[in-house]
Structure 1
Amino acid sequence: MAGLDDITNKAKEFLDSGAVKDALSSEQAEGVSDKLLDGVADAAKKVSGGKFDEQIEGARDAADKKVGNE
């Protein structure tokens, strides 16, 4: 499993780098993430028949706070 550990550690280093954090906090990232999160939320609502809309919106909003600048 050394290969998997190496990949995991490289991914952690990449995600912890300042450049990645800056990119995720940009205005461009906000616009892209909003469109992506809206699409995923809409698809999940459709699949669930509206049964979990409140939970889906909560998850969407929580994810949105982590990406972008708003």
Structure 2
Amino acid sequence: MSGLDDVTKKAQEFLNSDQVKGALKSEQAEDISDKLLAGVADAANKVTGGKFESQIDGAKESADKAVGTD
């Protein structure tokens, strides 16, 4: 199990690095995430017949705040 623990620790260190954090807060990440989130929200609204549109939009907005610059 220590091999798995080592890999997990290295992955956590990588994801918490300034380089990764900077990439997630870039303009390019913002553009990509906006398109991806809009597509996922549209698909979810189609599947649910729009019954949960406000909840889906709220989740999209929350996710959008976590990635990119806006």
**Could you say which residue in structure 1 is the equivalent of 2:32?**
32
**Could you say which residue in structure 2 is the equivalent of 1:11?**
11
Matches within 5 A, 1:59-70: 59-70=59-70
TM-score (norm 1): 0.88
- Please tell me the root mean square deviation across aligned C-alpha atoms, in Å: 1.3
Q: Which runs of 5+ in 1 are unaligned?
A: none
1:10: how far off?
2.6
SS in 1 for 2:49: coil
- Deviating above 2 A after TM superposition, structure 1's stretches of 4 or more consecutive aligned residues are 1-11
1:7: how far off?
3.6
What amino acid sits opposite 1:28 in the alignment? Q
1:3: how far off?
4.7
- Counting matched residue pairs gives 70
Identical-residue share of aligned pairs (%): 67
Q: Which runs of 5+ in 2 are unaligned?
A: none
SS in 1 for 2:12: helix
TM-score (norm 2): 0.88
